[in-house]
Amino acid sequence: MDTTLYLMQRIPFSKLSVTQICKSAEIGRIAFYKQFDSKYEVLHYILVRVIDRNLTVLDIQRFKDSPFETFFSTEFPKRVITFQYTDNDFRKILNDNFYEIIYDLTSDDSLVWLIFEMLSIAEWYTIKYGKSVKKDVKLLDSIIKNKSFRPCFIKDGN
């Protein structure tokens, strides 16, 4: 898992091969295929483990009060997400699996809803401003808290 995360900070997922993972992890392809069917299955495994680990230690009340600020203080592999986010294969796997993984790991519907709100707002913000959401966590937290995009439009002067 650590080897694949390390590689995913440097190589787009669509270009990452099982051979590269095996070479970096110093394991044979047979050993790899005894554990996983493909690099896609490895990514799914990583997502489940990372999300589960973070949900386990998450201060739920803090997260509900300031979701973006709290997210950026977690151990979630943000470098990987930031680097991979423009890779279509990675985004497809993330989008296809993320919601299902969250639902499988928690029964707190308000937490699930908040995570989905965050993802939607982060996507909107990234498209609108073309920059990392990390640069404006307080603004994004206020959007969620107030359930209003008005602060963004005031910021823009619109």
- CB crowding 86-114: b at 16 or more within 10 Å, else e: ebebbeebbeebeeebbeebbeeeebeeb
d(CA 139, CA 158) in angstroms, rounded, equals 16
CATH of the domain at 8: 1.10.357
Whether the pLDDT of residue 67 is over 70: the answer is: yes
Tell me the pLDDT band of 18, cut-offs 50, 70 and 90. very high
**Structural domain boundaries, residue 113:** 2-156
Q: What is the pLDDT of residue 123?
A: 83
C-alpha triplet 90, 123, 149: angle, nearest 5°: 170
Whether the pLDDT of residue 7 is over 80: the answer is: yes
Distance in angstroms between the alpha carbons of the first and the last residue of the chain: 46
Compute φ and ψ for 12, nearest 5 degrees: -55, 140
Of 119, 98, 109, which is closest to residue 46 (Cα–Cα)? 98
d(CA 121, CA 126) in angstroms, rounded, equals 8
Q: What is the pLDDT of residue 4?
A: 94
Tokens of 58: 């998450």
**pTM value surpassing 0.85:** no
How much is the average pLDDT of 139-153?
Answer: 86
Where is pLDDT greater, at 107 or 99?
Answer: 107
Q: What percent of the chain has pLDDT over 70?
A: 96
pLDDT digits (tens, 9 = 90+) for 112-139: 999 989 988 988 888 888 877 888 899 9
Q: Mean pLDDT check: name the lowest of 33-47, 55-69, 128-142.
A: 128-142
How many independent structural domains does the chain possess? 1
Whether the pLDDT of residue 158 is over 60: the answer is: no
Q: What is the pLDDT of residue 126?
A: 81
Whether the pLDDT of residue 1 is over 70: the answer is: yes
